[in-house]
Amino acid sequence: MKPVALHHASRLINHGPTVLVTSAHAGRRNVMAAAWSMPVELTPPRIAVVIDKSTFTRELVMASGAFALCIPGAALADLVYAVGSTSGRAGDKFARHGIAAGSGPVLGMPVLEQGCVGWLECRLIPERHTEEAYDTCFGEVVAAAADPRVFADGHWSFRGDNADLQTLHHLGAGLFARAAGTVQARAPL
């Protein structure tokens, strides 16, 4: 992974990839899948993600005020489905699935690099109403990184020869589409 300039960080999730939300607090850590995340501001980079109030992730995020969004490549589809189908309350998913995690440079959130193509470390922006009413949590991106084989200078490059590094888009019930077959629109006149 190479650091991504913060003004390019929103591009990492602009196309709506399914992400892994990682969290940690007081010696406990967790990871869950989230299909519902999006950028909401370019500079400073801010994002929103739906984290249901029943999840262990939500408990840790509210306690620590931080989380990370890690962007899995297509080769991690089974893992994404697995960590999105069980709760960390039942046991450490990192240990159970053999997930290696580094530490985010600013907030120390777990960041996944093996099989992932990018991550964004975020400080929670407390918004009690949207959290309570819509399970929507806002975050300011304080650090970001990406795999330069597929993301460089603020641009994704999904090609026929990098299928395992293409991002996942959840269609439902464990079926995903890969980001591929890009179309470059002509410059507007």
Which residues contact ligand FMN by CB under 6 A? 18, 30, 32-36, 50-52, 55-57, 80-81, 84-89, 170
Identity of the residue, 36 or 164, whose beta carbon is nearer to ligand FMN in the bound complex: 36
Integer Cα distance of 17 and 181 in angstroms: 15
Contact 118, 128 (CB under 8 A): no
Identity of the residue, 2 or 96, whose beta carbon is nearer to ligand FMN in the bound complex: 96
Identity of the residue, 52 or 153, whose beta carbon is nearer to ligand FMN in the bound complex: 52
Q: How far is the CB of 78 from ligand FMN (least distance, A)?
A: 11
Identity of the residue, 9 or 34, whose beta carbon is nearer to ligand FMN in the bound complex: 34
Q: How far is the CB of 142 from ligand FMN (least distance, A)?
A: 21
What six digits make up the tokens of 84? 């999105």
Contacts for 165 with CB less than 8 Å, ≥ 6 apart: 73, 74, 75, 117, 147, 149, 150, 158
Which residues are bridge partners to 47 per DSSP? 39, 139
Q: How far is the CB of 184 from ligand FMN (least distance, A)?
A: 29
Q: Quick one: which of 173, 142, 176, 3 has its CA closest to 73?
A: 176
Cα-Cα end-to-end distance for the chain: 37
Q: How far is the CB of 70 from ligand FMN (least distance, A)?
A: 13
